[in-house]
Structure 1
Amino acid sequence: MENTVFARRSNLTDRTLSAAAYNLVIGLTLCWGFGINWWIVGHIPVESIRSINPWLFFGSYFASCMAGIHLFLRSSQPWVSFIGFNLVVVPFGLVVNLVVSRYDATLVQDAIRITALVTLGMMLLGTLFPRFFASIASALSVALLLVIIVELVEIFLLGIHHGVIDWIVVLIFCGYVGVDWGRANQIPKTLDNAIDSAAALYMDIINLFLRILRILGRK
């Protein structure tokens, strides 16, 4: 993301939005994504997802996400970025559906509430201390990569999973929310940048939610 969305600078040909309109577009785009996820959880039976061949499911999942990320990172057209955003939202929604089906509804609601509060808190910190969060962006990327490698080794080679990893991932994505929100307010306030920023925040928030739900589920 460093060399695409969040590295963009002002262009005289770009039509900028007011700060209020810019933040409103980010909020509406996030609500659209979460709304799609809510609809998927409520209307697509978990059994129909589980019936899909795992290789086909995860292959399609990664293909759709990668295509979506490429579109919203590289495009300067709002409608193209919005299509890319939806290519990420739908497969994420299917995974969320699979995960939340394992937990009690009350627990899921608790995870949603905690995620919302943490997200708002990190956005506030990202607004107040953008330079700090910008300085830790690279460290967060390295930490996330290391955690993914360790988790894959534990699950597929050792057949174990340490709960502390979930806490580490929560901290990493808390940092990412602050980083991406701080970056979102440093780039030109255009319609396309608002959608792109919302897409980045959406992925941070969903990953944060899934880990918080997992931690609550263990308790």
Structure 2
Amino acid sequence: MEHSVFERQGQLTDRTISPGAYNLVIGLTLLWGFLINWWMVDTISTEWIRSINSWVFFGGYFACCMFGIYLFSRSPHPLVSFVGYNLVVVPFGLIINLVVSRYDPSLVLEAIRITALVTVAMMVLGTLFPAFFERIASALTVALLLVIIVELVEIFVFGIHHGILDWIVVLIFCGYIGYDWGRANQIPKTLDNAIDSAAALYMDIINLFLRILRILGRK
């Protein structure tokens, strides 16, 4: 079985590309995902999404995302990784559609602007201090799992949600952006690794955006 993208430290048989081309592919792959999400929000009605049976919707969402993550993180082939990336982008787009429909468009634009600024800042930090973000990677994973458990208990047992959890998740995904960007520039610069890295960053950025939008909406 192939190693995960962020474990590929050795020399690969795939042809490497220049740093400029590598970063360009990452940027274009991210842009593709964001454009697909924008198109889905613009064309798919929330009424249609809500009409889907909840068990079918969430079951399909998790199955599609997990299979997509498996494909792009394990496959050494760029085309297969791109297919896996799209299998993540599409279900994320349905969730984004449901969420942004609850907020004023000006608030959504503000969340996009803040997310973009934070993402660039964390990428700069990830470039400057990759060792630091690699050291905190395990702590980020543990923290995220704990927050998910706490949120599920709060929502389904107590019927409440503490706003501080949104801020914690924002900090966690800021750390993940720095970590994933730093690692993306340490692994061999191949076309497949560029797509895989973009997919990991896409999930970080979208989760960050959704939490920032929630915080702004609460204010």
The TM-score, its normalising length taken from structure 2, stands at 0.98
- Name the counterpart of 2:32: 32
- Name the counterpart of 1:177: 177
Q: How does 1:110-121 map to 2 (within 5 A)?
A: 110-121=110-121
> Which whole-Å CA distance do the structure 1 matches of 2:42 and 2:186 have between them?
37
- Name the counterpart of 1:97: 97
- Name the counterpart of 1:136: 136
Q: CA offsets, 1:117-174, max 9 Å, x none? A: 0000000000000000000000000000000000000000010000000000000000
Q: Secondary structure at the match of 2:194?
A: helix
- Name the counterpart of 2:165: 165
Alpha-carbon shift at residue 4 of structure 1 (Å): 1.1
- Name the counterpart of 1:50: 50
Misfit runs of 4+, over 2 Å: 9-13
> Which whole-Å CA distance do the structure 2 matches of 1:65 and 1:79 have between them?
17
The TM-score, its normalising length taken from structure 1, stands at 0.98
> Which whole-Å CA distance do the structure 2 matches of 1:177 and 1:10 have between them?
23
> Which whole-Å CA distance do the structure 2 matches of 1:90 and 1:120 have between them?
24
- Name the counterpart of 1:13: 13
> Which whole-Å CA distance do the structure 1 matches of 2:33 and 2:46 have between them?
19
> Which whole-Å CA distance do the structure 2 matches of 1:59 and 1:11 have between them?
38
> Which whole-Å CA distance do the structure 1 matches of 2:104 and 2:84 have between them?
32
Q: CA offsets, 1:31-69, max 9 Å, x none? A: 000000000000001100010001100000000000000
> Which whole-Å CA distance do the structure 1 matches of 2:198 and 2:135 have between them?
21
Gaps of 5+ in 1: none
Q: 1:12 to 1:207 in 2, by over 3 A?
A: closer
> Which whole-Å CA distance do the structure 2 matches of 1:9 and 1:138 have between them?
18
> Which whole-Å CA distance do the structure 1 matches of 2:139 and 2:129 have between them?
17
Identity, % of aligned positions: 78
> Which whole-Å CA distance do the structure 2 matches of 1:60 and 1:146 have between them?
24
> Which whole-Å CA distance do the structure 1 matches of 2:25 and 2:6 have between them?
17
- Name the counterpart of 2:145: 145
Q: CA offsets, 1:169-202, max 9 Å, x none? A: 0000000000000000000000000000000000
> Which whole-Å CA distance do the structure 2 matches of 1:128 and 1:93 have between them?
32
Count of residues in correspondence between the two structures: 217
- Name the counterpart of 2:213: 213
Q: Secondary structure at the match of 2:136?
A: helix
- Name the counterpart of 1:87: 87
> Which whole-Å CA distance do the structure 1 matches of 2:18 and 2:51 have between them?
47
> Which whole-Å CA distance do the structure 1 matches of 2:45 and 2:197 have between them?
31
Alpha-carbon shift at residue 93 of structure 1 (Å): 0.2
